[in-house]
Structure formats: C-alpha cells, structure tokens
Chain A
Amino acid sequence: MIGARVGRIGYLAFCTCVFIFLVAPIIVIVPLSFNAEPYFTFTEGMLRLDPEAWSLRWYREIVENEAWTRGLVNSLVIGVSATLLATALGTLAALGLSSPAMPARRFITGLLISPMVTPVIIAAAGMFFFYTSLGLAQTHLGLILAHATLGLPFVVITVVATLSAFDRNLTRAAASLGAGPVRTFRTVQLPLIAPGVISGALFAFATSFDEVVVVLFMGGLEQRTIPRQMWAGIREQISPAILAVATFLIVFALALLFTVEWLRRRASA
C-alpha cells in the first residue's frame, strides 16, 4: 500500500518535471524580454523587482528597427498568400480524397502528405536548384509557392479529418432537392466543414510564419522574413531584441492555439 503511494507520488513528480521541461523555455523568455540590460539572464535588479532593471527598450528597438518591420510585412505577405493557395488546393483535394470513388487513395494521400515528413533541408535544396532555373529564386512568388507546398499537408489532413465526420446523406439530400454540385458545396458542405478548413489554414499559416530554411536558401535581401531575421540574430549579432520578438511570437502562437481548439470544439459539438 505504501509502495503504491510512493509509486504514485513518484509518477506525479516525474510528470510535473516533464511539464516544467515543456513550458519552462517558453515562460522564461517573456520576463527576460523586459531586461533593461543587454543580457540573456536575470540581473540582480530584475530579481529584486527593481523597476529600473525592467524596461521596454527591446520592444522599442524592434518597432523602430526597419529590418524587423520589413520582416513582418514580408512574413505576412508570403504567409497569407501561401495560406490562401494551400487552403484552396488542399480543400479541393481533401474533398476528392474523401469521396468513396477516389482511386489509389492511399498512395495519393501519402504523396500529398509527403512534404510534411521530407526533411526541409532536402526540399529547400531541391527548390533552390529548380526555382533558380525558373528564375523564381529570390522572388516573393517563389517563396509563396514553396511555403504553400510545405503548408498543404496540414490543410489536407485537417479537412480530410473533418470530412470523415461529415454525413454524406446531406449532400445527397441537397442534390435530390435540385442543387448542383457547386451550390451543394457552398451552401451545405462548406459551412459544416468550415472549422476544419480554417484550422488547416491556420496550420498552414503557422508553418509559413515559422519557416526559415527555404527562406535561407531561396530568399534574397528583399525577402527577409521574421524567422530569417531571428536566424541572423541568433547566429550573428545576438541581442535581447530577439527575446522581444520571441515574446510576440509566443503570444501569436497562443492566439492560434486557442482559435484552433475553439474551432475543434465547435466542430465536434
């Protein structure tokens, strides 16, 4: 009995440590981004909660620094375009894949999801060779196409998952009432699978918004995105401004996560 209790306590203690391991790196970044000194650790003043030791200087720096604001614009332009492309193509494909009549479904699903498991360095190297030969390297269009490719599997997976719960009798009912396929899709199917489509789109956007390897290989100075700028910051001139950007990205990730969870709950309810 005592052995069981010790075991239970040990198990809970171990789990607590793992949860700390999971979130500590994310939590630690936030207060450090308000450091008044250019250090990456808590100064004595910060620990004494001395207001002098805390400051917004790194936030001011990123707002005033043109490299970061331009990076944000690039990230948004590339991310939104890639997301629209991936969502449109991915949703169509998911509709096809979910049809019972789809031939070679398993093989084609595997093919469509493969960009997700292909090491990104290989995809980036291949894209560098091929897009250069098309003149698409160092262009926004090239990066949009590349990021759409990397985001597509997420759209396909989430929309296929949502469609698997979709009652096909509804489309049959719409058809028997005289609606064409396009109208059936727009008025019956789309509203019901919308949460899945939006979740997939958010996944695709998050993928693009965090992508750095393809940008490293194919992007020029004109295509510097936020992750590219962070990469340079971590490798070259490390400054706590990165922590301020990181805090912004954490808040952004939380917003995405809550939206997706909310959509999931709505879809399953």
Chain B
Amino acid sequence: MSIGSEHGLPGHLVEFVTALRRHGVSVGPGETVDAARVLGALDLIHREHVREGLAAALLRRSGQRQVFDTLFELYFPAALGAGSAEVEVPRVDDAADGPVDVDALRDILADLLRDGDTAALAELARAVVDALGRSGAAGTGVRGAGGQPSWSAYQALRVLSPETLLARILDELRAGGAEEDAFSDEVRRREIRDRIAAFRKMITDEVRRRTAEQRGRDQVARTAVPKQAEQVEFLSAHAEQLAQLRRTVHPLARRLASRLAVRRRHARRGTLDMRRTLRRSMSTGGVPMRPAYRKRRPGRPELVVLCDVSGSVAGFSHFTLLLVQALREQFSKVRVFAFVERADEVTHLFDPGAELSGVMQRVLREADLVAFDGHSDYGGSFGTFAEHWGDAVTSKTSLLVLGDARTNYRDPNLTVLGRLVGRARHAHWLNPEPRRQWGTGDSAALRYAGVLPMHECRTAAQLADVVEGLLPV
C-alpha cells in the first residue's frame, strides 16, 4: 500500500481522523492514540481486522458506522487502480478493449444475483466500473478511451439497470423448482431486492474509490460521504434515508422517556411541604424530626397535533408523528389532525397497535384534505380546524403544529391560530426548514413565530432535543 503522507502511517491515521471529524464524528486525541496502539497490536495484512479495530477505538455510537466505513474505503482502499480483477467483462466481438457487451453482462449479473455470491458480485462491480469507464458500452457511444477514463455510477447503473432483472431471476428460480406458494415467493423477491440494493452500493463505492484516485482523496471525502442518519435533513432526505430514520424512532423514544424519568426524579427532590411537616412534628412534640416533601404529580396533558402532510414536509411529519405515537404514554390523550388545504382528523390511524409504516399514504387517501389544487393552505386549514374541531383545544391541551409554514402566498389566518393558541395551555410550532429561510418567499414562518414559539427541527437530532425540552416534567 502506498501512503502519500509525509509522516508515514501515523500521519496517514491523523489524516483519516481529520476526515472523520469533518463529518461530525468527534474523535479526541486520546482516541487517535488508541487507534495508533490498535494498529501496533494488529497484523496489518488483515484489512478487516484493521477496519474493526479502528472502529472500536474511534467510534462511540452505532450511527457513525456508515460514515466510518465509507471513509475507511477511501483511506485504506482494498486495491489500487483496477486491482486484480478475476471477472472478465464480456466485450462486443470479444475484442480486448472493445465496448462492453451489455446483454451478456446482464446475464452474468443475473446469475450472480440469483446465487447470492457476494464476493463475486463485488469483483464484478469492480470490473464493470473499470470496463465501462475505459471503453464504454456497446451502442451508447460513451467512450472514455483516448482521453481520461471517466467513472460514473449513474452510467454504470443505467446501462446495467439491475432492478429490471428481478422478474427474470424470480422466473428462473421458479422454473428451477423452488416452492410455489405466495409466502416463499415474497421472501425470495425481497431477498433478491436486497442483493440488488447491495450491488448498487458496491458500484457506488467502487466509483467513489476510483474517483478518489483520480481527483484526490480529500476532495472526494469532503463531498461524497453520506451523512449520519440523525443528521440528515428532513427536507432533503430521500426515501431510503427516511426509512432508515424511522427505524430509529423507538430507540429514540425510549431514550427520551428514560431521560425524562431522570429529570422527574431530580425535580422531586427538595421542595418542602410545610403543612405536612408541621402536622408530622406534632407527634414528636413540635420538633420537625421528619420533614415531608411535596409530591409532584406529573401532569399528563392532552396533545393535539396539527400536521402538514403535503409532499414537501411529509417525511418530517411522518417521523414526528411516529415519535409522538411512541411517546403517547406521556400524554393522557393524543389527537392527530392532518391538513393540506383543509384539516381532517386522523387519530384513528394512529391507534395503539396500528400499522404505521404506510400510514402517510392512508392519511392522504382516506382523509378529506384537498379542496382545490392540492397545495398547502395553512390559513384555510386552521380555519376548518377551528370550525369543526375547535373544541378539541382546551385549557388542558398542548397544541403542536408541524409544517414549513409555506402558505403559497395565501392568507396565513393569524387571528384564528392566535385564538387557538390563546386557549391552549402550551403551543409550539416545529419547522423543518433552516432558520435562515424562514420568512423568505411564501414562508409565513416569521409571522407565525410572532403568535407562538417556533422551533427549528431540521434533523432528527434537533427534533429529539426540542421534543425533550417540550415534554412535561
């Protein structure tokens, strides 16, 4: 392995640690020293040992692993250049550097996906990226030959389009005598789908590695490394990231609940109940021997959630609703209202034990939310809510509004919201937009912020902090 650092292996390690820090993994000098001791204790020939050893010394949280793995691939690559590829990529007319024969290649890929041979798939990914980057595919006219080879995950995945192989592989398996019933079929389908996703990731990783060789590691490390799940912004997250995020809801809720329990315990200490202490002192001749403390009865407020479920903020609303649902023990009653142009009650979809993974689709399908063109109308929604369910908000209610406050230049209806806020015990607005964008364009965020406190919740981490602060002690 060639190490392009002037201080040898320790210098290389420090560069790696610096890259980790840049991606929000806080690594102290102590950990770096530990990592160096790890490298000293291990046999560096085994790359996987080095990877796990460094992870043990440098990471402190499971969510950091993805960032770590991506950077590890860049800083401790498994191979340089094309590596020693053992898979031959088929070429048109079998010419050595001719364009890639896509159909033959897809046949190979289908076989490997069917058998689930991970090692061979990784080899193929490496060979494919190399061949497509250098010679291009047949019939596409993309040729890197002559000039610089160009690595592109987009191109490779478009040419191969592994998703379209799914039906074919399933047919082959069925023809091969696999079980016929719907259940086995479904299990197989999901298995193949996971393998395809894994293969896509292999291609992306390989392209990142080759690009890093060409354009310099630091530049790629800066731009092409995925974020930790809890630091992904709700508004720019794609479906897969959101799904990953939703898996963290229950651990997060448990963490919030146990932190809350600690806060309650601490809050209970100390406040003396004079009346009961004096009453008790009667039995010891007026000397207060055993002080009595005031018992706190944690108020369990009713929660009314008003959430925007239009396309732009649906991911954020879904996550927050799941979190509220997971925390429902902290409230005596939770009512959920969804709105786009008008509001409708959807509490029944969030009953305990209800199936929540596809709940947003059900909300959009079953509730009466659209009146006109399907763009969010905050003013109109607050209006319908106050008109039909205004009595849901009482002096025991905590009101929570979720949305980006982008009104599409319609009337924000501050009076109605003001009236609701005035009646509720607490009211808060959670906004997934960055604070600096509030009030720009059609955002009425700043005007709403004058009516009730508005909190910025761009990421799951931020949301957790805000929710923890709002929960009743």
Partners in one complex: no
Interface residues of A (CB under 8 A from B): none
Which residues of B pack against A, CB within 8 Å? Answer: none
